[in-house]
Structure 1
Amino acid sequence: MLNFTFKNQTEILFGKGQIKEAKSRLPQDAQVLLLYGGGSIKRNGVYDDVLTLLNGIQYEEFSGVEPNPTLETLMQAVELVRSKQLNFILAVGGGSVIDGAKFIAAAANFDGEPWDILAKGAAFTSALPIGAVLTLPATGSESNGNSVVTNKATAQKRAFGSDLVQPVFAVLDPVYTYSLPVKQVGNGVVDAFVHVIEQYLTYPVNAPLQDRFAEGILQTLISEGPKALATPQDYDVRANVMWAATMALNGLIGKGVPQDWATHMIGHELTALFGLDHAQTLAIVLPALMYAQREQKRQKLLQFGQRVFAINSGNADDVIDKTIKATQDFFEHMGVKTRLSDYNLGAADIDKLIANLERNGMTALGEHGDIDLAKARQILELAL
């Protein structure tokens, strides 16, 4: 097992009605930015609960954060924070809203061009505190310090991470997920699944506990994900999916093990250039990447297939083939298509994707740094 440090500062308030506990977690002098997306929270009752939470507290609302939050929109929120001298951000929504809150929190007092935080890794020394009310389990953003933002003007989707922007608390009420559209449920499960894979499907380093944690989350998503589609108001199912998605990327399962975020990095370019949903890009890239990297990942692919999908028949190559197919079939079962052609993309679009990877410095991806532009092209061609 590799050396690591681990600290998770986010207090999780999990369960029905737990938003009532959040008020005592707000600063006494809170001047709040209430941040949310397209307005679905006003139709499903979450907004009313949030207003009850904020009763007696000064706040300003900012809505319209996109599913892939854009620099252009978020900078409007930054200006609101600065002009009203707000000192706390309450993000109500899924990972995109929470990611957006993290950028706003970092940019509000940043002395420089805020995009440099993402594009150049510019350091910042302070950030506004954030609380989260989760309505879409998927990204794990509610209990980590990671954020991804899209710059529409330059067609770039970039990420940054810092403990300074990790939420201080997160409300996880499974009831808030009952009204999610089927597409978002499927996307969320796929997103969480791939988060686990990126920390698990590399090479062995004698970390059996981390492996079992990861396998348990994967098995939970495989079991409960389809149920969430079939019985959308089953509290226990929703609770299991919500907690699995949070555990997938709160930092725990990635400690002491190598990680491979190539699927995400290649997928980001599909969103930046063609506007695909994040989970759609992951479902396209991962099976092809598993095939292209099958020798480098051989031991863990066999372990994955045997332990998670119970694939034990055939020789090693048969097990790997069946494992890749089982992964692809699971994504399809969740309603997320797995081919570029499913999204009307073809061979001509691969050149654009490769050019953007090169422009963004994504030329040595994977746990071994061996996914160069040629290998990325191979992966995308396999995904056609």
Structure 2
Amino acid sequence: MQDFVFQNGTKIIFGKEKENLVGQESAVFGKKVLLHYGGGSIQRSGLYDIVLQSLKNKNLEIFELGGVQPNPRVSLVREGIAICKENDINLILAVGGGSVIDSAKAIAAGATYDGDVWDFFTGISQVTDSIPIGVVLTIPAAGSETSAGTVITNEEGWYKRAMGHDSLRPKFSILNPVLTFTLPEYQTACGITDMMAHILERYFTNVKNVELTDRMCEATLQTIISNAQTVLEEPTNYDARAEIMWAGTLAHNDLLGTGRIGDWASHNIEHELSGIYDIAHGAGLAIIFPAWMKYVYSHDVNRFVQFANRVWGVDIDWNYLEKTALAGITKMEQFLRSIGMPIRLSEVDINDQHFEEMADKATEDGPQGNFLKLTRDDIVEIYKIAR
């Protein structure tokens, strides 16, 4: 196990009707709030009215910016930054899922910076401060409600890039599982895949003697797996929704990565996919992660055997460990397919036209991954496996 520092300053407020507390929590940071959200779902569900009334009850001045898309765009981020600078906004309140929260984080960082916000995503500049962020979560998936990171897409070149800073962790996040009852099945399944991928990026490590976090990763994965079918078949099952929602937060609040070095190649390879084709991030991960596994498993067969045995219950064939490792990957693919996820690029009508372009973009700053360093040619092969 490696040395580490763990600190997560996000206040989690979990449970039924907790969205009614948003005004109280927001008022701590000042009088001016930028309410940031996506399309019309929060209006249709009634959540918009609840949030607005709670903010008004605390006499807060409310500015609004809707229109966040999946794979959020830097152009809207720039609009939000302008609003914040012109009106001295004290808090950005993100009401939605990971895309809305990521957009809010980018706005928060850019609002205290004199240059262009994209500088943070290209490494030209580093975040040093940001406007405080609050969250009312509606989609358990990205874990952005407690993480320090954000991912934004630039329409110029369709680059999808990540950056992070501890100041970008939301000050508070309100999690009410009831708010997820009306999520479409596909969106729920994409979220389940995303949170599983966050755990797997940490699980596949070269660091030895990380038994505790191995077990924590495995337990969280098993909890997600055991509740996935329930939330899809019984969308208003509060207990199952609560398990999934909390698992999504734990998957990406950095606790499961303590003492170990994660990989993150699959996420970055997928970013090029959804950057160009604008597919759901979770769907892209369902396609890329098994392909990555098939390409790298021989680097540490024992870890893949452990994954197969502890997570999927595959009996270990001590005479043929490779067989066990591959069986675990197959089990994962079967699970993803069972919740309605694609596991091949052909299933989402993506051909090999942009394989080399995506691999070039993924490796512009060098090889990808830590479990096994992947070059441009390696990434092309992974796209080919995923066909």
Instruction: Quickly name the TM-score band, shorter chain normalised.
Output: over 0.9
SS in 2 for 1:110: coil
- How far apart in 1 are the matches of 2:346 and 2:231? 27
Q: Equivalent residue for 2:135?
A: 132
The answer on 1:8 being equivalent to 2:8 is yes
Mean Cα deviation higher: 311-320 or 265-274: 311-320
RMSD over equivalenced CA pairs, Å: 1.3
Q: Equivalent residue for 1:366?
A: 369
Moved over 4 A (4+): none
Matches within 5 A, 1:250-261: 250-261=253-264
Mean Cα deviation higher: 127-136 or 13-22: 13-22
Q: Deviations over 1:161-204 (max 9, x none)?
A: 10011100000000000111111100000000010000002235
- How far apart in 2 are the matches of 1:107 and 1:151? 15
1:201–1:304 contact (8 Å) kept in structure 2 = no
1:215–1:307 contact (8 Å) kept in structure 2 = yes
- How far apart in 2 are the matches of 1:329 and 1:121? 42
- How far apart in 2 are the matches of 1:25 and 1:274? 38
C-alpha displacement at 1:352, in angstroms? Answer: 2.2
Q: Equivalent residue for 2:33?
A: 32
- How far apart in 2 are the matches of 1:45 and 1:177? 13
2:2–2:207 contact (8 Å) kept in structure 1 = no
Q: Equivalent residue for 1:198?
A: 201
C-alpha displacement at 1:103, in angstroms? Answer: 0.2
Percent of aligned pairs with the same amino acid: 37
Matches within 5 A, 1:1-384: 1-26=1-26, 27=28, 29-55=30-56, 56-120=59-123, 122-314=125-317, 315-358=320-363, 360-361=364-365, 363-368=366-371, 370-384=373-387
- How far apart in 2 are the matches of 1:368 and 1:40? 39
Residue identity in the other structure for 2:94: A
Mean Cα deviation higher: 39-48 or 169-178: 39-48
2:22–2:51 contact (8 Å) kept in structure 1 = no
Residue identity in the other structure for 2:148: G
- How far apart in 1 are the matches of 2:299 and 2:64? 49
1:12–1:169 contact (8 Å) kept in structure 2 = yes
2:13–2:173 contact (8 Å) kept in structure 1 = yes
Instruction: Please report the TM-score for the alignment, with normalisation by the length of structure 2.
Output: 0.96
| Structure 2: segments with no counterpart, 5+ residues | none
SS in 1 for 2:163: strand
1:203–1:300 contact (8 Å) kept in structure 2 = no
- How far apart in 2 are the matches of 1:38 and 1:308? 37
| Structure 1: segments with no counterpart, 5+ residues | none
C-alpha displacement at 1:47, in angstroms? Answer: 1.0
- How far apart in 2 are the matches of 1:369 and 1:34? 42
Corresponding residue pairs, total? 382
Change (3 A) 1:383 1:57: same
- How far apart in 2 are the matches of 1:129 and 1:222? 34
Instruction: Please report the TM-score for the alignment, with normalisation by the length of structure 1.
Output: 0.97
1:204–1:299 contact (8 Å) kept in structure 2 = no
